[in-house]
């Protein structure tokens, strides 16, 4: 009779020890489920995990599981590789200044089309197929994400003089309308957000997905901000994974050069999120199967936790 309660046909061959092992896992996860009950978890989704079909399916199943467990997941996604591929297909050449992509008027149209269109709807479809009720939107919807143009600065290699760099239609979040997301979460909806913002005067701006996720997590006073990456987490100078960091320790890693490259903005986002009300932020390897569940429902966790 018990087998009739399980929809998976292969479980008919499971042994009693297999069932006991599953029951043990569930009992160990219970205290963590209680910790996050009715709490909000913002997940930045991108990188290899989004491009791998099997990992993408697992991600959708894991997010729906969070919702079924009484947690409120909010997904914020990137899409850099897909944007680059579409620009190449359309013959639009990207310009870079000091290693940063310049988003001109032609490029921002493609960015919005790819992020708020194709990618956003793919994620929504996957979550709905997994049994969830997902709704896609961009930061422009209901002024969810209002941003200002980002002004970057860098030293001229010839004169060593610091100069301002105009990155075009790239934005830094100024205001988040969390009410829209509160209403969706209360209605059992999983929001899926493309990091396309609007400025105060109506310009469309592209916001870094990590930065957008951090701002949204802070606005919602999220229990956790989870940033899925393509690395294990933050590592020390010997290459060993650092499992926990305080805000001060994370700041020192940036200042002393231990954190480099793309890890710097991720750490900065984690630090800012925790400073602004998020209980803790985790930088996880999205290539690891069920990384979200390991981080939230086990004592070991996964990746690096900044608190």
- The total number of residues shown for the chain amounts to 307
Q: Which residues contact 137 (CB under 8 A, 6 or more apart)?
A: 120, 144, 180, 191, 192, 193, 194
101 is in an annotated binding site: yes
- DSSP notation for the chain: -GGGG---GGGGG--HHHHHHHHHHHHHHHHHHHHTTT-EEEEEE-THHHH-HHHHHHHHHHHHHHHHTT-EEEEEE--HHHHHHHHHHTTPPPEEETTEEEB-HHHHHHHHIIIIIIIHHHHHHHHHHTT--EEEEETTGGG-EEEEEEEEEEE-TTT--EEEEEEEEEEEEEEE-HHHHHHHHHTT-EEEEE-EEE-TTS-EEEE-HHHHHHHHHHHTT-SEEEEEESSSS-B-TTSPBP-EE-HHHHHHHHHTTSS-TTHHHHHHHHHHHHHTT-SEEEEEETTSTTHHHHHHHSSS-SSEEE-
60 is written with which tokens? 């959708």
- Is 80 marked as binding a ligand? yes
Give the annotated binding-site residues: 79-80, 101, 206
Give the annotated binding-site residues for substrate: 79-80, 101, 206
């Amino acid at each position: 009779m018990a087998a009739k309660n399980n929809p998976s046909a292969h479980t008919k061959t499971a042994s009693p020890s297999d069932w006991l092992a599953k029951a043990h896992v569930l009992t160990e996860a219970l205290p963590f489920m209680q910790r996050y009950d009715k709490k909000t978890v913002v997940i930045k989704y991108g990188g290899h995990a989004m491009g791998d079909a099997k990992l993408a399916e697992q991600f959708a199943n894991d997010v729906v599981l969070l919702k079924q467990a009484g947690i409120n997941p909010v997904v914020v996604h990137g899409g850099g590789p897909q944007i680059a591929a579409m620009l190449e297909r359309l013959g639009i050449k990207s310009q870079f200044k000091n290693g940063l992509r310049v988003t001109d008027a032609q490029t921002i149209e493609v960015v919005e089309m790819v992020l708020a269109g194709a990618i956003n709807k793919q994620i929504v479809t996957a979550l709905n197929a997994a049994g969830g009720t997902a709704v896609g939107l961009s930061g422009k919807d209901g002024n969810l994400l209002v941003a200002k143009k980002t002004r970057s600065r860098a030293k001229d290699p010839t004169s060593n003089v610091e100069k301002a760099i105009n990155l075009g239609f790239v934005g830094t979040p100024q205001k988040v309308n969390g009410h829209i997301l509160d209403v969706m979460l209360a209605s059992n909806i999983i929001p899926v957000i493309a990091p396309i913002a609007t400025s105060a005067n109506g310009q469309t701006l592209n916001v870094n997905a990590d930065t957008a996720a951090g701002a949204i997590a802070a606005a919602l006073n999220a229990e956790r901000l989870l940033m899925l990456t393509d690395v294990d987490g933050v590592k020390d100078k010997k290459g060993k994974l650092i499992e926990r960091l305080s805000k001060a320790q994370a700041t020192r890693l940036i200042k002393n050069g231990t954190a480099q490259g793309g890890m710097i903005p991720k750490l900065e986002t984690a630090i800012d999120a925790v400073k602004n009300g998020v209980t803790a932020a985790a930088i996880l390897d999205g290539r690891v199967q069920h990384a979200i569940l390991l981080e939230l429902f086990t004592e070991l966790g996964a990746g690096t936790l900044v608190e």
